[in-house]
């Protein structure tokens, strides 16, 4: 549990320091999310459907972790800048 607290503390520091460049904040948060998720899996609070979501988002270079009470709750994915415009572009391709 100390590791999970350290991860939360490091995330809070990243988010509160206006001197840290945005790209470094996003990279740091992505790494912390992956580490936190690994600890939660070790604790046995994940679910196969959440692991599938994490696997799919990871294949696109995104970081996802479970959140909530575990056992099939919710997943949170860090979506970096520029991804939404890419999705809009892809939607335009499929609409044709």
The model's pLDDT over 35-91, given as tens digits with 9 standing for 90+, comes to 999 999 998 888 898 898 898 888 878 899 998 765 557 899 898 887 777 677 656
CATH code for the domain in which residue 86 is found: 3.30.70.890
Q: Which domain holds residue 39?
A: 2-95
pLDDT tens-digit series, residues 80-89: 887 777 677 6
- Maximum CA extent, the chain: 52
Mean pLDDT of 28-32: 96
5 to 32, 49, 52, 85: CA distances (angstroms)? 11, 26, 26, 34
| Nearby residues of 64 by Cβ (< 8 Å), 6 or more positions away | 33, 37, 53, 54, 57, 58, 75, 76, 77, 78
Provide the number of structural domains found in the chain: 1
**Other C-beta atoms within 10 Å of 29: how many?**
17
């Amino acid at each position: 549990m100390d590791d999970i607290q350290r991860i939360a503390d490091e995330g809070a520091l990243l988010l509160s320091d206006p001197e840290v460049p945005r790209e470094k904040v996003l990279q740091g948060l992505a790494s912390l999310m992956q580490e936190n998720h690994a600890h939660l899996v070790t604790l046995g609070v994940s679910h196969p459907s959440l692991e599938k979501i994490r696997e799919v988002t990871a294949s696109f270079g995104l970081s996802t972790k479970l959140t909530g009470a575990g056992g099939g709750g919710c997943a949170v994915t860090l979506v970096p800048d520029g991804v939404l415009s890419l999705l809009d572009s892809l939607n335009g391709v499929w609409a044709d």
